[in-house]
Structure 1
């Protein structure tokens, strides 16, 4: 049950990430709408001019249509900034807004100069920084030129220059902040996925090391019990009892490994190696005790190495004898504890696989090394070493 829960955890993580991203997108749209709505306050000047400016009916009609077209184009451009529109389309839209603002200002008067503030804001919101740093001052310069061409426009100019510049560059900063937020969100999702992948790799490595040894021992004892029946039922019963004990221990080991609590010890693995070798009919020469004092991580790495090596001897080597040595050596980098497992089996080059790959990763994490290969004309040797450290 625990394994199934762990396997579904990345899916739950992605679901939580997607839900969180949707909520953040909704908040972003609300904030964006409020920000755009605040800036629409400046349209009160041209709207008031249309109503009370003394224009003819035809001018009011054309002015209203022009203002509606300007606002609609502006809103579409600003609201679609998150879709990464092509720069050419955005530049064309900004040019259209600039032309509308210029024509309406020259035709209807100085109150319409405020439209250039929207041109500046739209260019800052919709264009990348390398373009908007030029278009915002450009829109402000066009505002200045048009203001001097409109009667009384220079009196409005001082009140519009700062909003045009500050509003435009403020939108440049907001766009950069939004882009950074999106990138951080994507990076966080990537980190979560990498962490899930690393956890799956760790669990796969642990389960391989745990079940490979236990299932090999169960298989050997099952075969031995089968050969003992029906001539030696009592001896076969003892083998079946051993199978039950190993199966129960394997279940405990798997639960502890999935929970992340299990750290094998060298004394325990030495005892298990003796049992496995004896069951396979291999003469074992193993040290009786551990004399060196090792840190927990280093002892765990050597214990996994011993388990994997003995499992390979039992399953693949066809050996008659297996020798395990554990000694402390002095090297240029300092004292190391070296574990060597040598058999007289078929030998051959080390074949890369989950077992040796997992051992290499464990030993490297503990600052150690792994060497595996033929031992002379026949046989195979696995040598694992870790730096000597104080026990935890």
Structure 2
């Protein structure tokens, strides 16, 4: 799950880059901040400084950028520096920002914005909530020394304040996302462990008694064998009968484990459609239980749901997929549950043609459950429509009455002249 999500979201929050594309995208969001350095770089390129100031400017700017990159990239790669090292680096770039702003002019005040970002990235809220305003106050204090920028000094201060607190919020969101992802993984592990425990309990209940009985009868047959072979043969026959019954029980249990359920498949369908950026309109009836639906019928519908949505994702090119579950009466007085999967994609292949392996296998599964499969062009939008039918058991009396009133046209006798 995590790999699929990461591949579909190159800038997945809270996860390190796993390929070159993700690294480039995350790097872009860091490098874009360096457009703020246009002022200091332009100040150096103009050549109006003394040689000593130029040396200070280029060496200080290069050191500042290297330290900032090292600090932020290590954090992005989820290999953060130890707290003491990170705070030392933040102190160094703060000192560089102060010195170069005092010595080289007001254009260098933008360095405080990067310091604010570094503080927001590396420090918890209890520290950054006073450190970032202190940095902003220091920026205003230094900037007030330059009469030329006093009128728009807040143009330097507001980005420093906002960038710092924005990164604090982003870091909090990243930590929350990581905790949520860890919680989801823990829930999955607990669910798998619970399923193993359930399997162990079922196997014990199914085989414990049978195997104990087989053991006892085997010991009894061994004792009877020399003196009373007829009684020993009877015990062996009982062993065969018990072992055959145990084999039947195990096969039924395994069939139950392998049979898909609509609720489970629906959760996978939601994730698949969301990943493929296909809008899903899901009937709430899919999440309810239906009286009269057998285990075989539910399994067949679950397979139909899986196969239909797989085809929508892979072949349809659709933007929208509608999932419906309705009860329908047929002319043979039987009640059916109909699963409809309708998309607005390319529709059926031109010229018709045979079903693929997936639909052919689905027809066979539905036939085993006494159901059927219908496919064709959707009534609206020209997409593809798949309908899978399975029979329901005997309806309750109220349902029968409703059938007699609501669906009377389906049971009208034919005219006598027909």
**TM-score band (shorter)?**
0.5 to 0.7
Deviations 1:298-336 (A, max 9, x none): xxxxxxxxxxxxxxxxxxxxxxxxxxxxxxxxxxxxxxx
CA shift in 2, pair 1:200/1:17, >3 Å: farther
Structure with more relative contact order (C-alpha pairs < 8 Å, separation 6 or more):
1
| 2:150 maps to 1:159 | no
| 2:105 maps to 1:109 | yes
- List runs of 5+ in structure 2 lacking aligned partners: 259-418
Deviations 1:21-51 (A, max 9, x none): 7984216755542221111110111111100
* 1:262-301 alignment runs, 5 A limit: none
| 2:87 maps to 1:91 | yes
Q: Residue 45 of structure 2 corresponds to which residue in structure 1? A: 51
Contact 1:203–1:257 (Cα < 8 Å) also in 2 = no
Deviations 1:270-314 (A, max 9, x none): xxxxxxxxxxxxxxxxxxxxxxxxxxxxxxxxxxxxxxxxxxxxx
Q: Residue 62 of structure 1 corresponds to which residue in structure 2? A: 56
How big is the shift at 1:163? Answer: 1.1
Residues in 2 aligned to 1:31 and 1:177: alpha-carbon distance in whole angstroms: 19
Q: Residue 389 of structure 2 corresponds to which residue in structure 1? A: none
Q: Residue 75 of structure 1 corresponds to which residue in structure 2? A: 69
TM-score, length-normalised on structure 1? 0.57
Deviates more, 1:71-80 or 1:84-93: 84-93
| 2:229 maps to 1:229 | no
Deviates more, 1:106-115 or 1:235-244: 235-244
| 2:247 maps to 1:247 | no
Q: Residue 37 of structure 1 corresponds to which residue in structure 2? A: 31
Q: Tell me which of 129, 133, 137 is aligned to 1:137.
A: 133
How big is the shift at 1:201? Answer: 1.5
- List runs of 5+ in structure 1 lacking aligned partners: 1-15, 263-392
Q: Residue 307 of structure 1 corresponds to which residue in structure 2? A: none
Residues in 2 aligned to 1:234 and 1:129: alpha-carbon distance in whole angstroms: 85
Contact 2:71–2:80 (Cα < 8 Å) also in 1 = no
Q: Residue 167 of structure 2 corresponds to which residue in structure 1? A: 171
Q: Which protein is bigger by CA-based radius of gyration?
A: 1
Residues in 1 aligned to 2:207 and 2:189: alpha-carbon distance in whole angstroms: 27
Q: Residue 305 of structure 1 corresponds to which residue in structure 2? A: none
How big is the shift at 1:125? Answer: 1.1
Q: Residue 289 of structure 1 corresponds to which residue in structure 2? A: none
How big is the shift at 1:64? Answer: 0.6
Residues in 2 aligned to 1:83 and 1:126: alpha-carbon distance in whole angstroms: 12
* 1:195-344 alignment runs, 5 A limit: 195-260=191-256
CA shift in 2, pair 1:54/1:167, >3 Å: same
Deviates more, 1:218-227 or 1:188-197: 218-227
Q: Residue 127 of structure 1 corresponds to which residue in structure 2? A: 123
| 2:184 maps to 1:193 | no
Cα RMSD (Å): 2.6
Contact 2:214–2:243 (Cα < 8 Å) also in 1 = yes
How big is the shift at 1:95? Answer: 2.2
Contact 2:120–2:164 (Cα < 8 Å) also in 1 = yes
Contact 2:71–2:81 (Cα < 8 Å) also in 1 = no
Residues in 2 aligned to 1:120 and 1:254: alpha-carbon distance in whole angstroms: 65
Residues in 2 aligned to 1:105 and 1:256: alpha-carbon distance in whole angstroms: 79
Which has a greater percent of helix?
1
Q: Tell me which of 18, 25, 45 is aligned to 2:16.
A: 25
Contact 2:100–2:108 (Cα < 8 Å) also in 1 = yes
TM-score, length-normalised on structure 2? 0.54
